[in-house]
Amino acid sequence: MATNHQRDPDGWQSRLASRFARFAEFVQDTENDAVAVGALGTVALLGAFASFLVTSPYTSVFLAGFLAAVVYGWVRHQELAARGVTLAMTVSTVVILALITFFIFYEAWPILADRSGTVFGVTVPGLGMFTTTAWNPATASPKYSMLPMIQGTVLVTLVATAVAGPLGVAAALFISEIAPPAVRELVKPGVEILAGIPSIVYGFLGFTVLSPWASDAFDLVGQGTYLFVGIVVGLMALPTVVSVAEDAINSVPESMKSGSLALGTTDWQTMTTVTIPTAFSGVSAAVLLGVGRAIGETMAATVMLRNTPTVAEPLYNVFYGFETLTSLIAANYGSSSGLQKDALFVAGCILFVSVLALSIGSQLIERRMDRKVGGVE
């Protein structure tokens, strides 16, 4: 352990030294004007970024400098310029994402600090927003609990997954393995076109047709249920699931299936014991992508729900639909200010963290399945 500790910084230092050496060599080998233009472009881009952050009027000057450097480099040393520009693009993508993430949490901080709670003597920011259940921003002592919206998002996502998961995987299996070629070539692009229907169209259908019907059929007071929002969101996520799962199933090597069939299994046995297990990582990635879409779906939920944040009782009651994290933001951004606006940013943080966890989770599953089934290390 101790030797490791000593060796690690050494290795780090020598690696850094060799990096510097390689960089110096590169500068030596490259023509002088190319190095100068590269340096100028880098400085201009950094300057543009810095002056953008302080909202300086000189941002455009720096940006023009960068563009001039790029144009000169492109004309004189196209290969080097292309390397530099693509690197700059990649770096700026990462920086923009980092800035957005930082901004969401920065905006949410005032209310997190205001509603901190204490657990075992440790102050946890924002704890007060998760230990009460009332959302009531317009009263003398405003209450901002995130629990009603978290419950709503969880219920809608569960229902949507229950709709989109089985339907989507079954449809993908049918399209890829069972349907005759002509049907498959018609249905697959058709399903993908479904993904292009704007969510407000689904929401409007839900608001004018499904919700009033559900209100009558289940004898509810008024309209707006998590159940039907979940079903609508599930239908919206369906094309994503079908499309990705179908690609995964389709990519199972024909030789594996043929080998199984040669051993005398039926088509169905091959599907359940060879095709699906092999494609499992892709199929689960498809379902998780669908879940991600369901969590982030805003328009349909805002239109169909009641917009009165309340915890439904019992906790699994899907017949009354109050508010999800996304619809909270959509319904309140216009008339909110101060702490209430910060609370909306907290909802954004929760969404961000959960979608991040989902996408990391799907990557881990994929890696594990690759090792287990595909034999890829």
Partner 1 sequence: MTRDSERPADRVSRRKFLLTSGAIGAAGLAGCSSGGDEDTATPEPENDDGGSSDGSDGSSSDEETSGDASSSGASEPSLLTGEGSSTVFPIANKGASYWNGNAPPSDGEYWGENDEGSVPGWSEVETDMHLADYFASQYGFEATGTRSSPPYRATIGLSHSGTGCEAVTSGRVDIGNSSGPITAELGWSEEKRDEEVVDHVLGRDGQPIVVSQDIYDAGIDQLTAEQVRKIYQDEITNWSEIGGPDQEIFCIGRAVGSGTDTSFRLNMLGDAEAEMSGVDTRQGQNQGVAQLVRQNEGAIAYMALAFTGDAVRPISLEFDGTVYETSPDAENTIFDSEYPLNRDLHMYTQITEDTPSGTDMREGAFMRMFLTTFGQQVFVEANNYIPLPTADLEAEMAKLPDTA
Residues that bind partner 1 (CB under 8 A): 136-140, 177, 181-182, 184-186, 188-190, 192-193, 207-208, 211-212, 215, 221-224, 250, 254, 257-258, 261, 267, 270-271, 306-308, 331-332, 334-337, 340
Residue 117 or 277 having the CB closest to partner 1: 277
Residue 211 CA to its chain's centroid (Å): 28
Task: Give dist(CA 224, CA 210) in Å, integer.
Answer: 9
Minimum Å distance from CB 222 to partner 1? Answer: 4
Nearest to partner 1 of 122, 263 (CB atom): 263
- Looking at beta carbons only, is 116 or 307 nearer to partner 1? 307
CA–CA gap between residue 207 and residue 210 (Å, rounded): 6
CB closer to partner 1 out of 256 and 357: 256
Closest approach of Cβ 71 to partner 1, in Å?
37
Give the nearest distance from C-beta 138 to partner 1 in angstroms: 5
Given the complex with partner 1, which of 338 and 374 has the nearer CB atom?
338
Min. distance of Cβ 226 from partner 1 in angstroms? 14
In this complex, which beta carbon is closest to partner 1, that of residue 86 or of residue 258?
Answer: 258
Q: How many angstroms separate the Cα of 35 from the Cα of each of 19, 61, 83, 320, 346? A: 17, 21, 13, 65, 46
Closer residue to partner 1, CB minimum distance, 246 or 297: 246
Q: 62 vs 202, which CB is nearer to partner 1? A: 202
The CB-of-220 to partner 1 minimum distance in angstroms stands at 9
Q: Please state the closest distance from residue 243 (CB atom) to partner 1, in A.
A: 12
For the chain, the three-class secondary structure string (H helix, E strand, C coil) is CHHHHHHHHHHHHHHHHHHHHHHHHHHHHCCHHHHHHHHHHHHHHHHHHHHHHCCCCCHHHHHHHHHHHHHHHHHHCHHHHHHHHHHHHHHHHHHHHHHHHHHHHHHHHHHHHHCCEEECCEEECCCHHHHCCCEECCCCCCEECCHHHHHHHHHHHHHHHHHHHHHHHHHHHHHHHHCCHHHHHHHHHHHHHHCCCCHHHHHHHHHHHHHHHHHHHCCCCCCCCHHHHHHHHHHHHHHHHHHHHHHHHHCCCHHHHHHHHHCCCCHHHHHHHHHHHHHHHHHHHHHHHHHHHHHHCCHHHHHHCCCCCCCCCCCCCCCCCCCCHHHHHHHHCCCCCCHHHHHHHHHHHHHHHHHHHHHHHHHHHHHHHHHHHHCCC
Structure tokens given for 49: 């970024």
CB of 133 to partner 1, least distance (A): 13
Query: In the complex with partner 1, which residue's Cβ is closer, 70 or 155?
Result: 155
Q: Give min distance, CB of 257 to partner 1, in A.
A: 6
Which residue type is seen at 113? A
Burial of 231 by CB count in 10 Å (0-12 exposed, 13-18 middle, 19+ buried)? buried
CB closer to partner 1, 32 vs 337: 337
Q: Minimum distance between the CB of residue 329 and partner 1, rounded to whole angstroms?
A: 13
User: Nearest approach, Cβ of 181 to partner 1 (angstroms)?
Assistant: 5
